[in-house]
Amino acid sequence: MSDLYFGINMQKLLRLGALDPAQLPETSAQQADKLSSEEHLFCRLWSSDMMRSHIFNKGTLLMAEGQPIQEAMVIFQGQAIATCGHTQFHLGPGAVIGLAEGLSGQTSKWSVTSDSVVHTRSIPIAQALTEIQQTHPALRSLCQVTLARILGQGMHTERVS
């Protein structure tokens, strides 16, 4: 297994009080100097009521390689393992699973299994596509370029167009 790992430093966020529901992390100037952009995004998603929460027991298949993606997931607590062939990655809080593939109409490139109890929030792909299609054309183009870069492709992302 690879030692590659992606996750947000939850201890840092808890120590700073960034996950305290009584605070709005994006408005705290003091926290703004202490949090990375990824940590800010994580805090905003943490406090969002737009996504549904899911709890998975250890050993649960969260996403299967080759399957269509109806909902992407953001890991909020726990760890999962993404596997493709002989390559494996550890995923922790802040990892986003299946969003780029789902938005571009591709199947999952990875099988993802919970390695502990995992708390996720789901992002419905159909709703995300609707939101992107209704946004400003420049932002939509930025999404297309970003998806192409993430997926290692040219500009073949017609679902986001």
pLDDT digits (tens, 9 = 90+) for 18-76: 665 555 444 455 555 666 767 667 677 766 667 788 999 999 999 999 999 999 999 98
63 neighbors 98 (Cβ within 8 angstroms): yes
Global pTM value: 0.72
Task: Let me know if residue 13 belongs to a domain.
Answer: yes
Q: What is the mean pLDDT of residues 139-161?
A: 72
Task: Let me know if residue 30 belongs to a domain.
Answer: yes
Task: Let me know if residue 102 belongs to a domain.
Answer: no
Which range of residues forms the domain containing residue 14?
5-47
Task: Let me know if residue 83 belongs to a domain.
Answer: no
Q: How far is CA 11 from the centre of its chain?
A: 19
CA atoms within 13 A on the CB side of 96: 15
Residue pointed to by tokens 């990892």 = 95
Q: What is the mean pLDDT of residues 85-103?
A: 91
Q: How far apart are CA 67 and CA 57, in angstroms?
A: 21
Q: Where are the beta strands (DSSP E) in the chain?
A: 5-6, 52-56, 61-63, 71-77, 80-84, 87-91, 96-97, 111-114, 118-124
